[in-house]
């Protein structure tokens, strides 16, 4: 019993001592005088941006120091210190910038990317600023692009350099690249009339824009995957041969299917493992539909990297007096290996839509990205006739259509105005920067 009392007493003393050390550490951390703080912190620290992370998870820098920000991803990112006015420029793929921490008091802060949806997707990190002389605060600047300098968080080029870069980006359009996605796939018609579509998921080299080739996760080797089309009431089979290095599945987003064909692993089916084949069977719904098909297994990686396509059932009704001359699909993406793109291509490699004056064009917007995209066409109105494949009882005209992740909008464009008209996402950091247009930009050419 005596030994038990002694041991208990020693534990209590140790606990009190430990609590005391804890309070001391908290106090020192708050004041910036913790052992190894100012003495150990560098005046410059490096952070790396990617889809979707800021690394390292915790970075320490002396008060008055500098963050060297590197965008290692393919999408545009920046770094902001939450709760302050300290913000880096928006950085394109491969660009870098220095963010001066002038006036930032010692303490713990959160770094985030300000691009819509990126912080929620994981682009957060901890910044610890320690007391001490640190280094001389560097001006915020931009490297990696000829002639780019800046102060106070504003990246600049000389006016002549900016004009030349913009002209070069525009004159390169439409640039030729290898591969065309979204082409309609003819089904094999079985003896009982079933339309059978054969898909193979695999990783291929895909040229997103001239010279930028990525490892894309594809259906039948293209981004987007082939367009599948059936008529209401058709018997449908989709046969997937998985040649990926991991399991996958197909979800038919926006289509009415039996539960067994919903394509969500461990809810309606087992994963389709590497090397396996799986067949989805269902009867196409009785009403027209504008749907997508995409992976629903590790979807946060597989879908942005390319595993998505369009599935159309029948044809949507159009207003009286309208004859559709051409049907276009515009699949939107913003992350993963593909990055900011339209139909798997980034400007200047995006394909223009070409129409004769007076023609009606039907466009299906499908968002397979992780953020919303307000799609804006210059020069002519967009008449919205369906939302998520459901015909609207009252179509309406709009200048800009905001397409959220997973949404589909169908619009009609009456090509009444001759000329070349810009067509782009109106989140400007998705479409244009100081060195010219990029990403989610194309054009409507009316002749």
- Residue 321, C-beta contacts closer than 8 angstroms, at least 6 positions apart: none
pLDDT (mean) for 372-380: 97
Q: What is the pTM of this model?
A: 0.72
DSSP per-residue letters across 140-190: PEEESSTT-EEETTEEE--HHHHHHHHHHHHHTPSPP-S----PBPPPEEP
Q: Are 116 and 371 in contact (CB under 8 A)?
A: yes
pLDDT of residue 292 exceeding 90, the answer is yes
Q: What angle do CA 367, 373, 378 make, to 5 degrees?
A: 115
Report strand pairing: 212-219 vs 195-209: antiparallel
CB atoms closer than 10 angstroms to residue 133 = 11
pLDDT at 29 over 70: no
Look at residue 122 in the predicted model and tell me its pLDDT. 84
Distance CA 116, CA 90 (A): 12
pLDDT tens, position by position, 110-149: 999 988 778 878 899 999 999 864 433 333 333 333 333 3
Confidence (pLDDT) at 144: 35
| 156-160, 188-192, 350-354: least confidently modelled range | 156-160
Other C-beta atoms lying within 10 Å of the C-beta of residue 88: 28
Q: Residue 209 corresponds to which tokens in the numbers above?
A: 């824009």
The per-residue pLDDT for 92 is 83
pLDDT band (50, 70, 90) for residue 191: very high
Q: Answer yes or no: same fold for 44-156 and 188-446.
A: yes
Q: What is the pLDDT of residue 140?
A: 32
Name the strand (E) or helix (H) holding 20.
helix 2-31
How, if at all, do strands 382-387 and 432-433 pair? unpaired
State mean pLDDT over 83-100. Answer: 89
Q: What is the pLDDT of residues 312-366, one digit of tens each?
A: 999 999 999 999 999 999 999 998 899 999 999 999 999 999 999 999 999 999 9
**pLDDT reported for residue 20:** 38
**Span 65-78, mean pLDDT?**
89
Q: How far apart are CA 158 and CA 260, in angstroms?
A: 60
Domain boundaries along the sequence of the chain: 44-156, 188-446
Average predicted confidence (pLDDT) for the chain: 86
| Residue range 294-316, pLDDT digits in tens | 999 999 999 999 999 999 999 99
Token pair of 231 as six digits:
């008529």
Distance (Å) of CA 447 to CA 29, 74, 173: 68, 35, 17
Rounded average pLDDT over 10-38: 35
Q: With beta carbons less than 8 A apart as the criterion, state whether 230 and 266 touch.
A: no
* Residue 378 to residue 355: CA distance in whole angstroms: 15
Architecture, CATH, for domain 188-446: Sandwich (2.60)
Give the C-alpha separation, 248 to 271, whole Å: 6
CATH superfamily of 44-156: Cupredoxins -  blue copper proteins (2.60.40.420)
Give the integer Cα–Cα distance in Å for 209 and 390.
34
Own/partner contacts of 45-49, CB < 8 Å, gap of 24 or more, are: 46/70, 47/79, 47/111, 47/125, 48/72, 49/73, 49/77, 49/78, 49/79, 49/91, 49/113, 49/123
In this predicted structure, the answer to whether residue 371 has a pLDDT above a threshold of 50 is: yes
φ, ψ dihedrals at 269, nearest 5°: -165, 160
**C-alpha to C-alpha distance for 223 and 217, rounded to whole angstroms:** 8
């Amino acid at each position: 019993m005596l030994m038990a009392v002694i041991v208990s007493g020693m534990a209590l003393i140790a606990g009190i001592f430990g609590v005391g050390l804890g309070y001391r550490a908290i106090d020192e951390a708050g004041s910036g005088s913790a052992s190894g703080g100012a003495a150990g912190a560098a005046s410059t620290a490096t952070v790396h941006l990617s889809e979707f992370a800021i690394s390292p998870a915790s970075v320490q820098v002396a008060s008055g120091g500098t963050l060297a920000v590197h965008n290692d991803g393919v999408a545009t990112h920046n770094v902001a210190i939450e709760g302050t006015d300290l913000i880096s420029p928006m950085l394109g793929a491969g660009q870098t910038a220095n963010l001066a921490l002038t006036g930032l008091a010692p303490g713990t802060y959160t770094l985030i990317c300000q691009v819509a949806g990126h912080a929620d997707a994981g682009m957060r990190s901890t910044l610890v600023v320690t007391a001490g002389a640190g280094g001389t605060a560097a001006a915020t600047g931009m490297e990696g692009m000829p002639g780019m300098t800046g102060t106070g968080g504003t990246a600049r080029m000389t006016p002549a350099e900016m004009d030349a870069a913009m002209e070069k980006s525009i004159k390169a359009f439409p640039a030729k690249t290898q591969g065309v996605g979204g082409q309609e796939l003819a089904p094999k018609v079985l003896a009982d009339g079933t339309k059978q579509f054969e898909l193979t998921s695999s990783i291929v080299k895909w040229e997103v824009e001239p010279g930028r080739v990525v490892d894309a996760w594809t259906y039948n080797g293209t981004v987007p995957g082939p367009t599948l089309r059936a008529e209401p009431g058709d018997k449908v089979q989709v046969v997937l041969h998985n040649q990926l290095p991991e399991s996958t599945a197909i979800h038919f987003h926006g289509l009415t299917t039996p539960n067994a064909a919903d394509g969500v692993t461990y809810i309606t089916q087992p994963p389709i493992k590497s090397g396996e084949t799986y067949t989805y069977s269902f009867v196409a719904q009785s009403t027209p539909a504008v749907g997508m098909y995409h992976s629903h297994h590790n979807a946060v990686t597989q879908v942005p990297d390319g595993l998505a396509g369009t599935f159309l059932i029948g044809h949507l009704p159009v207003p009286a007096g309208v004859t559709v001359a051409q049907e276009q699909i515009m699949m939107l993406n913003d992350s993963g290996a593909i990055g900011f793109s339209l139909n798997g291509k980034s400007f200047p490699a995006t394909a223009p839509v070409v129409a004769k004056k007076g023609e009606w064009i039907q466009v299906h917007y499908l968002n397979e990205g992780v953020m919303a995209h307000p799609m804006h066409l210059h020069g002519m109105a967009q008449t919205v006739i369906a939302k998520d494949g459901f015909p609207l009882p009252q179509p309406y005209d709009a200048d800009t259509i905001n397409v959220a992740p997973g949404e589909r909008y169908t619009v009609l464009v009456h090509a009444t105005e001759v000329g070349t008209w810009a067509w782009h996402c109106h989140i400007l950091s998705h479409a244009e920067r100081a060195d010219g247009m990029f990403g989610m930009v194309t054009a409507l050419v009316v002749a």
